[in-house]
Structure 1
């Protein structure tokens, strides 16, 4: 018997109904539906894979409880600062990566994240973003939780690394995350994603995080062009790291290295609401 834990899914019609309900309730200044009511209201559009595992209410409840707990530690349901929301993102991504049940291909499906965002964790999505941003509720690379699952699973360097396990996840700015994970050709290759993340951190350490946005964009263009000539995904790790370093060095060559103590303010929180 398969031990894959399946999660309910919400189709696109259900997402549209969710957005319509949120708009209607906001216009009337009415109280939003709780999770029990949503499960009933959206039942016609909720479905599950007919085979390949067994539906796990336990896993759904665990995800619901843990994400709510993490959100509460960062200010939910009160209005939270950008810094608190970024810290929430990091902690949820870590938990997703550490949960072995969430490592199955089941979680590659957009409609699973639609269900979790629209039905189970709608309040957290609205707290983190708003009730009007469909991409944050619908499944996809900008979904509130799907993006964190992708980051956590990809940037986890493993228990064997020790204290540095989460240095990529914790160190990258939101802009850098978007540049990596919203490009399918990069995000689909975990090795390349980690190499670019490492290159970003190394370069930021030289010139300062506040100067990295334009550098990151130039470096990504160079790497994509280089990938047309040499398939970077087939390079040995050392060669790939060298290609990434070369791209960041070239992209930042006109920017002098930071002197001690003069680094511009961290831009991490500044982009918390952009992605």
Structure 2
């Protein structure tokens, strides 16, 4: 897979993004491990430091700089761990309109980080997929708005909403409605400024 995306030459931005999307889906499909096992750092450090260190260097290195240790060690920035968890969060309660594959390929890196790396929101079953789908729907409806601003402001509003609404307890349909309303309000606020 790395060779198909430019390995051993360092990847450009498009190659890196496409590689990450494909690897996300492959890891999740071929590593059917429980979340408790995925939370153990040794799994990911072993993959990055022993099995595929050359791929880590290729994906996050450059001719002029070394690869950060956080890409090898377990944690939110580990090359493989971050991708497996993305697929897990997006797939725990898949969205009715989008598959996990569609979401992974349609969202950019910053958007995926916003959806899957906020601890207070990412762990809510179905929320990551609802937010990703809501952002994609909003981007179609409001083409003039910057996706980055739309996503970041929606996440802030979701954090505030979670203080008043138990997002963990509502149905998938209600969750989708709340998320859609948030994206509508964000889009309206940008349209008036």
Settle same-fold status: TM greater than 0.5: yes
TM-score, normalised on structure 2? 0.86
Aligned length: 186
The structure 1 residue matched to 2:47, chosen from 102, 116, 123, is: 116
Q: Distance in 1 between matches of 2:154 and 2:147?
A: 10
Mapping of 1:160-175 within 5 angstroms? 164-175=99-110
1:20-69 deviation per Cα after TM superposition (whole angstroms, max 9, x unaligned): xxxxxxxxxxxxxxxxxxxxxxxxxxxxxxxxxxxxxxxxxxxxxxxxxx
Mapping of 1:195-214 within 5 angstroms? 195-208=130-143, 211-214=146-149
State the partner residue of 1:240: 175
Q: Classify the secondary structure of the residue corresponding to 2:126.
A: helix
Identify if the C-alpha distance between structure 1 residues 122 and 220 changes in structure 2 by more than 3 Å, giving closer, same or farther: same
Matched, 1:126 2:61: no
State the partner residue of 1:96: 27
Shift of 1:190: 3.5
Residues 25 and 87 of structure 2 are in contact (CA less than 8 Å); yes or no, is this contact kept in structure 1?
Answer: yes
Runs of 4+ in 1 over 6 A off after TM superposition: none
Identify if the C-alpha distance between structure 1 residues 77 and 209 changes in structure 2 by more than 3 Å, giving closer, same or farther: farther
Shift of 1:164: 4.3
Task: Output the aligned Cα RMSD.
Answer: 2.5
Shift of 1:100: 5.2
State the partner residue of 2:165: 230
Q: Distance in 2 between matches of 1:76 and 1:82?
A: 13
Query: Which sections of structure 2, spanning at least 5 residues, go unmatched?
Result: none
Identify if the C-alpha distance between structure 1 residues 132 and 189 changes in structure 2 by more than 3 Å, giving closer, same or farther: same
State the partner residue of 1:87: 18
The structure 2 residue matched to 1:106, chosen from 32, 37, 41, is: 37
Q: Which has the larger radius of gyration?
A: 1
Matched, 1:217 2:148: no
Shift of 1:213: 0.9
Query: Which sections of structure 1, spanning at least 5 residues, go unmatched?
Result: 1-69, 257-275
TM-score, normalised on structure 1? 0.62
